[in-house]
Amino acid sequence: MIVPNDNRAYPLNGLVLIGGRSRRMGSPKEKINWHGKEQVYYLADLLQNYCKDVYISCRPEQLDEIDYGKKTASNYAWLSDRYKDIGPMGGILTALEFQSDQAWLVVACDLPLLGPEAVDYLVQKRDPRRIATAFTSSKDNLPEPLFAIWEPDSLPLIQQMFAQNRLSPRRILIEHHALCVQAPDLQILTNVNTPAEAKIAAAMITNKGQSR
């Protein structure tokens, strides 16, 4: 779907998704230290370089667990999901409704190999006339909705699918012809959900560091 917004790009906000329950990992994925700090703060700091404002998307009860007396947490903006138990669509929908005149660069916390090169590439490839711009997955060649730029024009489509109890952000990208681009390095989309996958990802990060 190409929208007639005369080719102007909306301002870009950042959204780090940490609302998953990390059941398979056994501990919060957003707290894993891959790059010298907890992943949630690494990603938020990364998006600061590309976005007007950056928010951390979480479940309401996660806000209660955050110690705002800690300097680190208080330095970041938090956005509590308005929609309960509908997965990442709840975070994306909350953000778009929160500031409907902004585009949102959405990143899930379980992508440990994500770095500035990938974000820069996605931002450069952005087409504001589409409902979203996303990389295609190396596993199935389908769009990756949790590392994507969602334009404001996607909001009514997401609201419609939510009303129909169709809760797949990927399905929205497919049905409405989001711009899908090939990632410059397919490893950046490596998704980590279990301790075994985390061990593999840690080795990949180490190897990347040694090869530079």
State the binding site: 17-19, 29, 81, 110
* Nearest CA among 142, 209, 140 for reference residue 181: 142
Known binding residues for GTP: 17-19, 29, 81, 110
Known binding residues for Mg(2+): 110
> How many CB atoms within 10 Å of residue 206?
10
Is residue 31 a contact partner of residue 37, using CB atoms and an 8 Å limit? Answer: no
Distance CA 67, CA 82 (A): 21
Radius of gyration of the chain (CA): 16
- 146: its two tokens: 């949790």
